[in-house]
């Protein structure tokens, strides 16, 4: 894969756009370190993203390609904006027999998020980094610029994306070790690493990462989830242990997958078992509408009580939202927004557990504890995944929850 050929005017425009991007990322507080600032100013993102997909808010994804003269300006503007750009699509089969959906399976995350996470690595010159999730190769290129290609190993589940990134990085004279494989396994042949960074969501800390992290090392990894936005910053505490806290920064990434043909990773949501169970109608004194908020700290706290749950809405005949739905692989619950009496709302639960009861309990606990912010939550993870947990305030305190989440 060769460099995207720019005209002389486009080269000057791209140079100015990188300088503008550096200024904007600095202004929003994402970029502080002069070395990372130089990397953003000098790495040509357009080489690594010759095309992307845009849905314009609809369900149809259209390619925006540097090779199309009519799209050239839009493409160049986009690659130097602080935007997440989808660079790969997969097919999600329909359970109802409808036309399969095209869904994002790869992206170049917005630069402000990328550089903020890189800064949280607190990497020093000549330290060795393992990156989980090569994607477009942009963050890989930034790492190569900062540390040198020989100190960077990057891994992605999609062999085609790895091959494309290899060619584009080579065009920039970057030659990191690139591997197509399962991110959870890491790359033991290059271990130990001083830093490990993931650009895909995980439900726990893979054992291999802990084992492959050297003494004094650090892991920066997002929690899988669409509402919580959790980012774990973990330091090596012992040969078999990392510990740290959730960072205040919100991050949203696609889940880590072990199969390139499964667009959204491990299955979540309600199983056919729950759908076939008898409905149990009841009431709640917790107003369901209060749960639909943008308080990501609340959603993270709820995730601790309902690992793997998904949340959605029910719709009335006119297509308006009229309730909240909660699903796990074994249970489901629906709570209607319309009250049926003073401080009383209707619920319907199915499956192996009464998960609305869990929602109520989690909410009351959260309020009783003073609505704790995510920075009060810590993580202790051993390489035995049966001994990984999240704790509140103190690892030996009264509140802890097991992983995976």
What amino acid positions are annotated as catalytic residues?
A: 109
Residue 355 sits at φ, ψ, to 5 deg, of: -75, -20
- Those residues whose C-beta lies under 8 Å from the C-beta of residue 207, and which sit 6 or more positions away, are 383, 384, 385
- Which residue pairs, CB below 8 angstroms and at least 24 apart, start in 30-34? 30/111, 30/112, 30/113, 30/115, 30/116, 30/119, 31/112, 31/115, 31/116, 31/119, 32/119, 33/119
H helix or E strand, kind and range, residue 34 = helix 34-42
H helix or E strand, kind and range, residue 331 = strand 331-341
**Residues 286-307 as b or e (16 or more Cβ within 10 Å = b):** bebbebeeeebbbbbbbbbbbe
Place of tokens 């009060």: 376
233 pairs with which residues across the strands? 220, 245
Place of tokens 């291999």: 208
């Amino acid at each position: 894969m060769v460099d995207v050929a720019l005209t002389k005017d486009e080269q000057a425009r791209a140079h100015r756009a990188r300088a503008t991007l550096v200024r904007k990322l600095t202004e929003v507080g994402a970029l502080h370190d002069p070395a990372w600032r130089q990397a953003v100013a000098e790495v040509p993102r357009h080489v690594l993203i010759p095309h992307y997909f845009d849905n314009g808010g609809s369900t149809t994804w259209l390619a925006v390609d540097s090779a199309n003269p009519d799209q050239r300006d839009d493409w160049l503007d986009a690659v130097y904006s602080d935007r997440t750009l989808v660079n790969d699509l997969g097919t999600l089969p329909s359970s109802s027999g409808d036309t399969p959906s095209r869904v994002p399976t790869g992206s170049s995350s917005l630069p402000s998020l990328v550089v903020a996470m890189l800064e949280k690595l607190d990497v020093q010159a000549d330290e060795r980094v393992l990156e989980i999730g090569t994607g477009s190769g942009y963050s890989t290129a930034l790492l190569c610029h900062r540390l040198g290609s020989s100190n960077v190993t990057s891994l992605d589940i999609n062999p085609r994306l790895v091959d494309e990134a290899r060619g584009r990085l080579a065009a920039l004279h970057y030659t990191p070790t690139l591997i197509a494989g399962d991110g959870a396994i890491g790359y033991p042949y290059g271990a130990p690493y001083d830093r490990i960074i993931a650009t895909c969501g995980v439900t726990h800390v893979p054992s291999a990462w802990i084992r492959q992290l050297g003494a004094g090392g650090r892991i920066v990894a997002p929690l899988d989830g669409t509402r919580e936005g959790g980012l774990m910053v973990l330091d090596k505490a012992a040969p078999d242990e990392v510990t740290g806290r959730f960072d205040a920064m919100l991050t949203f990434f696609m889940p880590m997958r072990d199969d390139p043909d499964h667009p959204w990773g491990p299955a979540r949501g309600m199983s056919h078992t729950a759908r076939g169970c008898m409905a149990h109608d009841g009431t709640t004194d917790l107003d369901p509408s209060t749960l639909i908020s943008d308080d990501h700290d609340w959603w993270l706290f709820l995730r601790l009580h309902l690992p793997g749950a998904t949340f959605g809405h029910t719709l009335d005949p006119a297509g308006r939202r009229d309730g909240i739905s909660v699903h796990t692989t074994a249970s489901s619950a629906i709570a209607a927004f319309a009250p049926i009496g003073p401080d009383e709302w209707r619920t319907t639960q199915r499956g192996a557990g009464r998960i609305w009861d869990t929602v109520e309990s989690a909410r009351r606990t959260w309020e009783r504890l003073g609505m704790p912010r995510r920075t009060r939550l810590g993580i202790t993870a051993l390489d035995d995944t049966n001994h990984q947990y999240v704790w509140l305030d103190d690892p030996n305190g009264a509140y802890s929850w097991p992983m995976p989440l």
